[in-house]
Amino acid sequence: MKTARQFSILAAGLALALSAPMPATVAQDAAKVNVTLKDHKFSPAEPTAPAGKPIAIEVVNLDSTPAEFESKALRVEKVIPGGGKITVQVRPLSPGRYRFFDDYHESTTEGFLVTQ
């Protein structure tokens, strides 16, 4: 029973830690960026966004096959089902070019988010 008690202490601690900060799901002032994926190509291939503001990227997958929208630099990784749509939140960025790609077709399906 000792182990059970240890476990419940841990679980309670975790629940407490998780329940504390729960801000709004989407930053209100986030700049919106829309990208579509068709025939394994991003369009626009080089979307632009303002630097220094949080960004919400919406990706619509017009292909019937699933894709995984991923970017090391933007720190995102999200599966998009065939015909599906996702949104990811990105931190405020300094001006630059940030590569993103479909993890299932990394060599052919890529794009760059340009911030200025």
Partner 1 sequence: MLGALIIVFREVIEAGLIVGIVMAVTKGVRGSRLVIAAGVTAGVVGASLVAAFAGAIAEALAGVGQEIFNASILLIAVVMLIWHNVWMASHGRELAADVKRVGEAVRTGSRSVLALGVVCAVAVMREGSEIALFMYGLGASAGSTSAELLIGSLLGLAAGVGVTALTYLGLATIPQRRLFAVTTALISFLAAGLASQAVLFLQQAGVLTMMTETAWDTSAILSDTSLIGRVLHTLIGYSDEPSTLQVVAYVTTLAVIVVLTKAFGSRRATTAKGRHAAAG
Contacting residues toward partner 1, per CB under 8 A: 2-3, 6-7, 10-11, 13-14, 18, 21-27, 54, 56, 64-66, 68, 72-73, 75-84, 86-89, 91-92, 103-104, 107
Q: Which is nearer to partner 1, 68 or 110 (CB)?
A: 68
**Phi-psi label, residue 83: left if phi above 0, alpha if psi -120 to 50, beta otherwise:** left
The least distance separating partner 1 from the CB of residue 61, rounded to whole angstroms, comes to 10
Q: How far is the CB of 116 from partner 1 (least distance, A)?
A: 19
**Under a CB-based contact definition with an 8 Å cutoff, are residues 76 and 88 in contact?**
yes
Q: Are strands 76-80 and 67-71 parallel, antiparallel or unpaired?
A: antiparallel
Could you give the dihedral angle defined by the CA atoms of residues 11, 13, 19 and 21, in that order, rounded to the nearest 10 degrees? -140
Q: How far is the CB of 54 from partner 1 (least distance, A)?
A: 8
Of 51 and 56, the one with the shorter C-beta distance to partner 1 is 56
Q: What is the nearest approach in angstroms of partner 1 to the Cβ of residue 108?
A: 10
Nearest partner of 23 among 69, 75, 89, judged by Cα:
89
